Amino acid sequence: MPNIKSAKKRVITSEKRNEMNAAKRSALRTSIKKAHVAIETGSENKEEAVKAASVKLDKAVSQGLVHKNTAARKKSRLVKAMKAAQ
């Protein structure tokens, strides 16, 4: 544990930020997985699931969780899988 007050505060804020980022990353992965499941099962709400995952990916990019090229690649693969399933 650090001795300096600002360093102690930094440890606390970085722990909070780490927990928030982990939760957001988990929610992102869940939405992508839901979209893949919707595509594989051929459910009628697959377009909405892909759109929701796409929005989550865009938000993750703006929050700095995911690199923009990674998000673009994942969105592209989701749309490609959806079109192939139709």
Cβ 74 vs Cβ 57: under 8 Å: yes
Which homologous superfamily is 5-85 in?
A: Ribosomal protein S20 (1.20.58.110)
Tokens describing residue 55: 């929005």
pLDDT, tens digit, 9 for 90 and up, residues 16-73? 999 999 999 999 999 999 999 999 998 889 999 999 999 999 999 999 999 999 999 9
Domain boundaries, the chain: 5-85
Helices 46-63 and 68-85, interaxial angle, to 10°?
170
Angle at 75 between CA 48 and CA 80, to 5 degrees: 85
The pTM is what? 0.85
The answer to whether the CB of 81 falls within 8 A of the CB of 39 is yes
